Amino acid sequence: MPKSREWHLVARPQGWPVPEDFALVDTETADPGPGQIVVRNLFLSVDPYMRGRMNDVKSYAPPYALGQPMLGGAVGRVVASNAEGVAVGDHVLHGLGWREYAVVDAAHTVTVDPEQAPLSAYLGVLGMPGLTAYAGLLRTAEFAPGDVVFVSGAAGAVGSQVGQIAKLKGASRVIGSAGSDEKAALLVEEYGFDAAFNYKKGPVAEQLRAAAPDGIDVYFDNVGGDHLEAAIGAMRLNGRAALCGAIAQYNATEPTPGPRNLALLIGKRLTLRGLLVSDHQDLQPEFVREVGSWLRDGRLRYRETVVPGIENNLEAFMGVLRGDNTGKMIVALPE
């Protein structure tokens, strides 16, 4: 089997991760055991949730182990197989990213078709971020036609799909926040949002009030902090929020202040509900069918920020935390 390189976590980050917390390690690729396959990874996913797995705390996903390869979504080509039903040359989606070659239990993979969509799409628009957007808006936030929807982090892989799905499903107005004028313009001009603003250019509450003077019904939260507080203030009676992420506090070393206006939940009868995509795998067939149709028709658009090379995997991850990406951040490995 070929040699491989893989990223290990060697120290728990304190605040923002630094390069010294990680190591790119040379390793040998093992032969596949019974029911296993060897995958040459072609595309790796880096996602904000990975920052939480670097902390040694109890959470919905176990923390990364020190001195061991990190985990993440990946798509690759099968180069050796000891499993029925999976052939050399097949392409699969699996969870052993952050490395060039992976020895995977075939039962923990999903075969994907490069003829139906680009392989990288299975990590983004047709993958975990896409299902997060679909399930979070339609099930967690209980979206209904006519709703006014506000999405934070709206130029990212999840947020950009939330806004488009809301429009396709009959939202009366969709507003997005992003971290630059260019991203805000993209939301309106390419993704069809009705309004968007750069949250760095003024208080979020003021900019949201200007964009949604009559209030909002649904908030999809990727940021937390001042965005969540602003959304609570803007919500109308029986408003709903899907709490997907809180990137504003992932690298905080001190407790971050919560929204100061939670008392508004009582009189407005608001619902704030946490969202984990793993709870909604039953929607996968419906999601792929409907979103796949929108993609083929050109009604749903997506972007990717592609960084080449395993050696740049860490920098790509840091870029996600900084908001450097437009759409899904992908690391591409050569064949």
pLDDT digits (tens, 9 = 90+) for 9-32: 999 999 999 999 999 999 999 999
- Cβ neighbours of 283 (radius 10 Å): 16
Does residue 2 surpass a pLDDT of 70?
A: yes
pLDDT of residue 104: 98
More confident residue, 97 or 249: 97
Model confidence over 115-145: pLDDT tens digits? 888 999 999 999 999 999 999 999 999 999 9
pLDDT band at residue 255 under the 50/70/90 scheme: confident
Does residue 318 surpass a pLDDT of 90?
A: yes
Strand partners, 26: 5
- CA–CA distances in Å: residue 18 to residues 10, 13, 52, 54: 11, 7, 15, 12
pLDDT of residue 253: 65
Model confidence over 275-302: pLDDT tens digits? 999 999 999 889 989 999 999 999 999 9
pLDDT of residue 252: 67
pLDDT band at residue 1 under the 50/70/90 scheme: confident
Q: Which of 39, 42, 44 is nearest to 2 (CA)?
A: 39
Model confidence over 170-201: pLDDT tens digits? 999 999 999 999 999 999 999 999 999 999 99
Does residue 248 surpass a pLDDT of 70?
A: no
Amino acid at 106: A
Full set of structural domains in the chain with CATH: 3-123+304-332 (3.90.180.10), 128-278 (3.40.50.720)
Model confidence over 217-231: pLDDT tens digits? 999 999 999 999 999
Model confidence over 51-108: pLDDT tens digits? 999 999 888 889 999 999 999 999 999 999 999 999 999 999 999 999 999 999 999 9
pLDDT of residue 21: 98
Q: What is the rounded distance in angstroms from the CA atom of residue 225 to the CA atom of residue 137? A: 20
